[in-house]
Structure 1
Amino acid sequence: MSRPLVLLHGWGLTARVWETLRAPLAGLTIHAPDLPGHGSAPAVSGTDLAAWTDRLAADLPDGATVCGWSLGALLALDFAARHPRKVARLALIGATPRFAATEGWPHALDAETVAAFRDAFTSAPAAVLHRFIALQVLGDAHRREVGGKLTAALSAAEPDAAQTEALAAGLAVLAGADLRGTLAAIRQPALLLHGEHDALMPVGAARWLAAQWPDARLEILAACGHAPFLSRPAECATLLEGFHRG
C-alpha cells in the first residue's frame, strides 16, 4: 500500500487551493481536508493550535507524508511533534514556526500589523481576506494568475457572521502559535519549499527552520511569493513527489 500524501491548506481558503497540484500528483493517494471552520468543515471551539491538529489527526491516515502550507505548515509542524505516528515525512511550504515578530524573532510580520489584521477582520472580513491574498502574491512573477487561484479557493468571498467567527478563530490560531520550542521533537525527514519574495512568511523563517534539522532540504523558488506551488506548480510537484517517494 502506497504512503498517503496529506495536504493542509492556509488560512481563509479551502482544499480547492491544491487543485493545481492534483494532475501532476495524480499517481499518489491524496488526502486534502478543509481545515476546521473552513469550507464545509465544522469549527473547533477556541483558538488552540493543538485542538485544530487533534481534530484533523482523528480523520487522517498514519504514516503519511504531511505537507502543510502557511497555517497548514504550522499544523504540520505540530502534527510531526505530537502525532509522530501520523507523519512519516514532513513537507512545508511557506512555513514559519511563528507568524508574528517578537524579540529575537525578526522573520515575520510585525506584531502591530498582525494585530491590525485581526481587529479589522471582525468588521470587514471580505476586505481583509483580499488584502491577505494581495500580500501572498507580492513579488510573484505570476501574481495575477496566482491571485486568481487564491481567490477561487476562498472559504467564503463574503463571509456571513458564522463564517466570520470561524475564520477569526483561525486567524487567532495563526497569530498566536509559536512552535520554536517544539522543533527538537521533530525527527522526520523534512523538505521546505519557500518563495524567494514571500512577504507573509519571510524566507529567513525557512532558513531558520531548515537549520534546526541536520538533514532538512530547503528549496528557495526564485520569483515566487507566498504560494510557489501555484506559481511554479510543475516544479513544486516534482520536488514533492520525489521527496514523498524517497
Structure 2
Amino acid sequence: MTQLHIESMGHGPDLVLLHGWAMHSGIWSSVRDHLMQQFRLHLVDLPGHGLSPMCEPGTLDHLAEIIADILPERCMLGGWSLGGQIAMELALREPQRVQKLVLISTTPCFAKSDDWESGMERKLLQLFLENLKLNYVTTINRFLTLQMSGDRDAGKILSQLRKHFFQRVEPDPSALEKGLKILQQTDLRGRFVAIQQPVLLLHGENDVITHPAAADWMHQNLQQSQRVMFAHCGHAPFLSYPEQFVTCLNEFRIHA
C-alpha cells in the first residue's frame, strides 16, 4: 500500500481535499488557514505528486482505492479538476463515508466527443502528453497559463500558481503521463447520475479546461446539488476568490 503524504489540521467535521493534475496539496495554502477554523482539514498529495511516492498502475480505479484507504469514517470530500474525478469515483464507491461532495472546476468527462461538446479537444490533451516528454518545464508553464485564461487577475493568480507548483519536488513523470491518460479516457457520465450525496459545484465562468457547461450538466443530472459560478474566473476559483470559496464550503457544511 502506498504511503500517501497527508497534512491534517484544525477541528470540526472532516474535510478531505484532492488537488489536480501536476499539482500538490500546497495549492490550498490560500484557503487552508480559514478552512481549518471550521473543519478537521486533510490535504492529500496524490501518488507521484508533491511528497507522495508514485504507485502503479496509476489508473482512476487504483487512485480511488488508495484514497479510500485514508478517508475518515464520515467526511466531506472535495476535488479540483482531476481530483474531482477521483472524488466522484469515491462518492460512488464509499457512500457511507463520503457524506457530502464538493466538485471544483471538474467534469465527468474531460475530452470532447460527438455527444459531449463540453470537453477539451482530444488533440490538445494528446499534445500535452507528447510535449511532456520533450520539454517538461515549458509544457507545465503552458498548462498553468491555460488554467488562468479568462481570469480577471490572470497575471497575479498565475504567479501564485507557479509559486505553489515549484514549492515541492517535481511530479513523477509517470504520474503525469498516467494522469493525462485518465483525463483523456475517463467518461463518468453514465455512472455520475447515481451519486446520491449532496453536491456543491464550484466553477469559474471563464474556465477553458473544464467548460462551464459541464457544471450545468452535472447540476441537471444530480439528485441534490448546489451550483456556484464565479464571475471573471478561470480554472482555480479558490485562488481567484479565496474568501467566497471558504464561505461556500462553510455554508454547504451547515445547510446541505
**What TM-score do the two structures reach when normalised by structure 2?**
0.90
Task: Measure, in 2, the Cα distance between the counterparts of 1:34 and 1:44.
Answer: 12
Task: Measure, in 2, the Cα distance between the counterparts of 1:60 and 1:219.
Answer: 26
* 1:158–1:34 CA distance, 2 compared to 1 (3 A): closer
Task: Measure, in 1, the Cα distance between the counterparts of 2:168 and 2:74.
Answer: 35
Query: 1:17: which partner in 2?
Result: 27
Query: 1:173: which partner in 2?
Result: 182
- Shifted more, 183-192 versus 145-154: the winner is 145-154
- Paired letter, 1:210: H
Task: Measure, in 2, the Cα distance between the counterparts of 1:22 and 1:132.
Answer: 24
Shift of residue 157, structure 1, vs aligned partner: 8.1
Q: 2:198 aligns with which of 185, 189, 192?
A: 189
- Paired letter, 2:75: A
Q: Answer yes or no: is the 8 Å Cα contact 1:31–1:60 preserved in 2.
A: no
Task: Measure, in 1, the Cα distance between the counterparts of 2:164 and 2:183.
Answer: 18
Q: Answer yes or no: is the 8 Å Cα contact 2:204–2:212 preserved in 1.
A: yes
In the TM superposition, what are the counterparts of 1:137-152 in structure 2 within 5 Å?
Answer: 137-152=148-163
Structure 2 stretches of 5 or more lacking a match?
1-10
Query: 2:229: which partner in 1?
Result: 220
In the alignment, does 2:90 pair up with 1:79? yes
Query: 2:215: which partner in 1?
Result: 206
SS of the residue corresponding to residue 96 of structure 2 reads helix
SS of the residue corresponding to residue 35 of structure 2 reads coil
Q: Answer yes or no: is the 8 Å Cα contact 1:126–1:158 preserved in 2.
A: no
Task: Measure, in 2, the Cα distance between the counterparts of 1:48 and 1:158.
Answer: 22
SS of the residue corresponding to residue 104 of structure 1 reads coil
Q: 1:238 aligns with which of 247, 251, 255?
A: 247
Task: Measure, in 2, the Cα distance between the counterparts of 1:7 and 1:144.
Answer: 25
Query: 2:8: which partner in 1?
Result: none
* 1:45–1:244 CA distance, 2 compared to 1 (3 A): same
Task: Measure, in 2, the Cα distance between the counterparts of 1:225 and 1:136.
Answer: 6
* 1:35–1:155 CA distance, 2 compared to 1 (3 A): farther
Query: 1:163: which partner in 2?
Result: 172
Identity of aligned residues (%): 34
In the alignment, does 2:15 pair up with 1:5? yes
Task: Measure, in 2, the Cα distance between the counterparts of 1:62 and 1:175.
Answer: 32
**What TM-score do the two structures reach when normalised by structure 1?**
0.94
Structure 1 stretches of 5 or more lacking a match?
none
Greater length-normalized contact order (CA 8 Å, ≥ 6 residues apart): 1
- Paired letter, 2:112: A
Task: Measure, in 2, the Cα distance between the counterparts of 1:88 and 1:142.
Answer: 34
Shift of residue 175, structure 1, vs aligned partner: 2.1
Q: Over aligned residue pairs, what C-alpha RMSD do you find?
A: 1.7
Task: Measure, in 2, the Cα distance between the counterparts of 1:155 and 1:34.
Answer: 14
Task: Measure, in 2, the Cα distance between the counterparts of 1:107 and 1:153.
Answer: 28
Shift of residue 237, structure 1, vs aligned partner: 0.5
Shift of residue 26, structure 1, vs aligned partner: 2.6
Q: Answer yes or no: is the 8 Å Cα contact 1:139–1:198 preserved in 2.
A: yes
Query: 1:101: which partner in 2?
Result: 112
Shift of residue 158, structure 1, vs aligned partner: 8.3
